[in-house]
Structure 1
Amino acid sequence: MKQSFRKKTKEAHYKGFIVEKAIQDFFTGRIWPRTNTPFPQAKIESYIQKGYFDVMKAVTITQKLSCRRCHNTSHQKFVSFHCAKCHQICTYCRHCITMGRMCSCDELIIWKTDSRQLQPLKTKHQFSWIGQLTPHQARAAKELASSIAQNNNHLISAVCGAGKTEILFSAVFESLQAGKRICVATPRTDVVLELFPRFQQVFPSTCIHALYGGAPKQQGFAQLVIATTHQLYRFEQAFDVMIVDEADAFPYTYDEALQRAVIKAKTKEAPIAFVTATPSQALFNRKTKENWGYSFISRRFHGHSLPVPTYQSLWNYEKMFRKGHIPQKLTRWVKQKLDKNEPFLIFFPTIDLMETAKPLFIEIEPTITSVHAEDPTRKEKVLELRNEQRKGLLTTTILERGITIKNVQVAVVGAENPIFTSSALIQISGRVGRNSQYPDGDIVFFHHGKTVEMDLAKAKIMEMNRHE
């Protein structure tokens, strides 16, 4: 009798379906195309047959057009075409096409098993930050942790260089210890690249993933995810805490689909913490209307004032660059920085003008190069500037935030251009003087005529310096 029972038990054990950890780790909290996963298609189909996934149309067209991945319902954002896959007229969503085109004949899959049933989120986490918060930072950190514990949204408004990332550490640690899954989302890839190693250093025993376009494949179930807001199209009800860093940055503030993606990626009860140096009026209005928690820091962590921009006219600079000459004032500024061995960033309003100017700067210093949003090597170039392998970088507004270079000096060419809003100019100015050893620095607005936005940026910086 015992032998027969053992035999039946053994047979049942071997006939049972064992969920592969790698598959569960990857799909928990994700919404993903059925036929384009990192796993063999036959394996995915077997999981679907056994009921581990919900399957749904990527785009529904029955009652109204709707994208299941990004929740877009605006007819203007859908395109109909003759599909080579199904040989019929299909419709796809333009809002989330950067994540791969999904049309009405495609299907998405969502892992059905509740992540809390199988994922060991109660792991012991190590908190290895040895720094010390200023009284202003400590107050903000306490306020943030309190809001998150109560599932209440929170806005942190803190000047560039106030140490916003350090303020997040204790709240993130408490959430990890409570078994929660956290996402720190930001509109810019460069910010993800800046934050990822810092969080890895502070939480060395925690599985952390960095998700951005072109990110390498990462193993394990990440309890802490650092991601661009675009990557949140691929998540659904995945996170217990959502932190949006640089919450005023383009394109997040102008794209309702990205804002919906943040809501979609978190659980219903999960709080959102918005962190920025230049909060929009819309954020302030929501904070007041919905009674969010709020923290304000007007001083940098090292206690020094923010560097105030100076103005220098640069008449007809575009014409001069196109004729093969760097304007004399700008040449003088660059040579001063080279003589003092000070790294520098020069912001340009357009890629075209920047690339036109680049060979002229290389004649002065061969290590100078340019970076922009589509540059696949910009991460390496920024690292080379930080490591003193390059003297300077020409850049678009892609580096206006999320980058810290010791003793960096900054110039804006064409500060009158509409691309340089007051918020952008404040963020650009905030690159200077971030290090306690080099709390001062040069920020110059080279212009072909002063603008209201330039004056607003300067006035806001001076106002912050008057606060205690």
Structure 2
Amino acid sequence: MARKFSGKLLLKSELNISEQRLNYLAKHGYILGIPSIQTKFTLHKCFRCFNMKQSLFGKIPHQPKPIIYCKQCIQMGRTSTLEPLYQWTGPKPTRHYPKNPLKWRGNLTHLQQRASIQLVKTIQQNDQLLIDAVCGAGKTEMLYEGITHALQNHKRICLATPRSDVVKELAPRLKHDFPTIHLAALYGGSPEQDLNSHLVIATTHQLLRYQNSFDVMIVDEVDAFPYHHDKMLPKAVRRAMKPDSATIYLTATPRFKQKWLINTNQLPTVSIPARYHGHPLPIPSKQMLFRLTKQLEDEQLPPKITQWISSKQQTNRRFLLFVPTIALAEQLATKLDLPYVHAESPDRHHLIQQFRTQSTSALITTTILERGVTFPSIDVAVIQADHHVFDEAALIQIAGRAGRSAQDPTGDVTFFYEQTTEAINRATTYAIRKNLEAKGQSS
């Protein structure tokens, strides 16, 4: 029981035990029910997701008074005035920690090693650290010594990320490199359970089910949507951590808040401006196309774009086409006879896996593949790069999909647009600046 429930906030349906068993555990002080909806006068607060926006609460007719429930987190199961959350108050679970959990035998670069050393110190001191590393720097491998140190000191670790695709990519790698530990990969619809695992890889939304559970919290892609946009998620991360714990943030594109904390010396930071293979970041090629929007509306593809696609197909280069909307993805998929994916695609995981294993040579995508996924030997184009969904961070991350392989480090990145935007210019300047920084640190 302790392994299953400790450090969590769960609904009765998630406990999956009988009423008799629940009453026994509550009577003997092993489990405690907490009101999931807290009401003061006519104001409500959801204890699980921190929701205080009254329009996001609903009412169900009931006697002697209506049942209040939270709409914001209802996809995780309904919290209501009749549905408490349960936390484990019994003995703490015990777990065995392997002495030598890491089986990876690769070598870190000088810059990776510098970040790794700082990471270990941060875990030792229960401090916080931001690792600002360019796309393709090898952030996952930088974590290995820190994870190993934490495990050897009987610390429980969470690696949280805003997107489920990243969880699905990271979990097999970490299971392979740490084969003797218990690891749980959690996301919406995940078949796995966290039974007091040594390491939990989870979407940040899944942390709404945790409280005082982790000694080390690693937040990957801290700048990504929805984490940087939704105040609920940072609160969930903080609540999931134990009072004395370490926090590691990973990003290639710090947002304004992180930049401010760095510049005011409130957030210790390690900068990694070079990719693990030592080759420079690809500099995006900028292609301005007159009347691009009108041509796309008329379901016409400008010659420069068709030429770009044809050149890749003729040279057997695999590529990703990024577009700003699902409608445009569907339109181009029909016109070009290519597969496409977006957040709601029912077969998206199958199509992404086909592209990853090189069963398909091209894929049209919305921003869901802008970050956290690695494909060998690909080129990248962004159609309507001046669209508002492609901010500076998105364009930098998209460009970061190309040239990640040591065997093919010079991938092509092209932005097609009608009007130059600040985001396009900054994304291009970013690559140039980081390459100069990397050259300076290597000399």
Q: TM-score, normalised by structure 2?
A: 0.93
Which string of whole-angstrom CA distances, capped at 9 and with x for unpartnered residues, describes residues 170-212 of structure 1? Answer: 0011101111100000111111111111111110000001001
| Equivalent residue in structure 2 for 1:269, among 225, 239, 244 | 244
Q: 1:369 maps to what in 2?
A: 339
Give a deviation string over 1:268-310, Cα, whole Å, max 9, x none.
1112100100112311333465744321111111111100111
Structure 2 letter corresponding to 1:370: Y
User: Quick check: 1:89 aligned with 2:59?
Assistant: no
Partner of 2:401: 431
Cα offset, 1:433, TM superposition? 0.4
CA offset digits 1:245-279 (Å, max 9, x no partner) = 01100110111110100000001111210010011
Q: What CA distance in whole angstroms lies between the structure 2 residues aligned with 1:55 and 1:226?
A: 27
Q: Quick one: structure 1 residues 107 and 291, their matched pair in 2 at CA, closer, same or farther if it must change by over 3 Å? A: same
- Aligned match of 2:188 in 195, 205, 213? 213
Aligned amino acid, residue 95 of structure 2: P
Alpha-carbon displacement from aligned partner over 1:294-335 (angstroms, at most 9, x marks no partner): 211111111111001111133444443454433322221112
**What residue identity is the alignment partner of 2:123?**
I
Partner amino acid for 2:74? I
Contact 1:346 1:412 in 2 (8 A): yes
Q: d(CA) in 1 for partners of 2:291 and 2:17?
A: 56
Partners in 2 of 1:307 and 1:381 — Cα distance?
A: 26
Whether the 8 Å CA contact 2:30–2:91 is kept in 1: the answer is: no
| Residue 47 of structure 2 corresponds to residue 68 of structure 1 | yes
Q: In 1, are the aligned partners of 2:186 and 2:192 still within 8 Å (CA)?
A: no
1:70 shift after superposition: 2.2
In the other structure, the counterpart of 1:396 is 366
Distance change in 2, residues 1:125/1:234 (3 Å): farther
Counterpart of 1:14?
none
Residue 390 of structure 1 deviates from its aligned partner by 0.9
Unaligned runs of 5+ in 2: none
Number of aligned residue pairs: give it: 437
CA RMSD, aligned part only? 1.9
Partner of 2:427: 457
The structure 2 residue matched to 1:110, chosen from 87, 103, 110, is: 87
| More deviation, 271-280/95-104 | 95-104
Deviation at 1:102, TM superposition (A): 1.4
Q: 1:42, CA displacement in angstroms?
A: 4.3
1:120 paired residue number: 95
1:104 positional shift: 2.1
* CA offset digits 1:56-90 (Å, max 9, x no partner): 11111035522211233x33463232247x68423
Of 163, 166, 184, 2:141 maps to 166
Q: Any conservation in 1 of the 2:393–2:427 contact (CA below 8 Å)? A: yes
Match of 2:207 in 1: 232
Who is 1:5 aligned against?
Answer: none
Deviates more, 1:293-302 or 1:419-428: 293-302
| Residue of structure 1 equivalent to 2:351 | 381
1:415 counterpart residue number? 385
Q: Are the structure 2 counterparts of residues 189 and 370 from structure 1 closer, same or farther at C-alpha, using a change threshold of 3 Å?
A: same
Shift of residue 24, structure 1, vs aligned partner = 2.6
CA gap of 1:416–1:26, structure 2 versus 1, over 3 A, is: same
Asked if 1:152 is matched to 2:127, the reply is yes
Change (3 A) 1:255 1:426: same
Change over 3 Å in CA distance of 1:325–1:207 after alignment to 2: same
1 CA distance for matches of 2:91 and 2:397?
41
1:257 alignment partner in structure 2? 232
Tell me, yes or no, if the aligned pair for 1:80 and 1:89 is still in contact at 8 Å. Answer: no
Q: Distance in 1 between matches of 2:258 and 2:277?
A: 27
Whichever residue aligns with residue 428 of structure 2, its letter is K
Shift of 1:426: 0.3
Aligned residues of 2:186 and 2:193 also touching (Cα < 8 A)? no
The alpha-carbon deviation at position 27 of structure 1 amounts to 1.2
Are the equivalent residues in 2 in contact too, given 1:158–1:298 (CA < 8 A)?
Answer: yes
Amino acid at match of 1:194: E
1:47 is matched with 25
Report the Cα distance in structure 2 between the residues aligned to 1:232 and 1:197, rounded to whole angstroms: 20
- The 5 Å alignment of 1:334-353 reads 334-353=309-328
Give the whole-Å Cα distance in 2 for the aligned partners of 1:286 and 1:27.
36
CA contact (8 A) 2:284 2:428 kept: yes
Q: Which residue of the partner structure matches residue 286 of structure 1? A: 261
- 125-134 vs 150-159, greater mean Cα deviation: 125-134
- Give unpaired runs (5+ residues) of structure 1: 1-22, 363-367
Matching of residue 188 in structure 1 with residue 163 in structure 2? yes
Matched letter for residue 253 of structure 1: H
Matching of residue 140 in structure 1 with residue 110 in structure 2: no
Structure with max Cα Rg: 1
Cα distance in 2, alignment partners of residues 248 and 393 from structure 1? 25
Matching of residue 33 in structure 1 with residue 2 in structure 2: no
Residue 310 of structure 1 contacts residue 443 of structure 1 at CA under 8 Å; is this kept in 2? yes
Distance 1:41 1:122, change over 3 A: same
**Do the aligned residues in 2 keep the contact of 1:144 with 1:293 (CA within 8 Å)?**
no
Q: Distance in 2 between matches of 1:114 and 1:421?
A: 49
The alpha-carbon deviation at position 121 of structure 1 amounts to 4.4
- State how far apart, in whole Å, the 1-side matches of 2:60 and 2:173 are: 47
Alpha carbons of 1:335 and 1:244: their partners in 2 closer, same or farther (altered >3 Å)? same
Spell out, residue by residue over 1:349-381, the C-alpha distance to the aligned partner (whole angstroms, 9 max, x if none): 11122112211111xxxxx21111122332221
- 1-structure distance, mates of 2:282, 2:105: 28
State the match for 1:4 in structure 2.
none
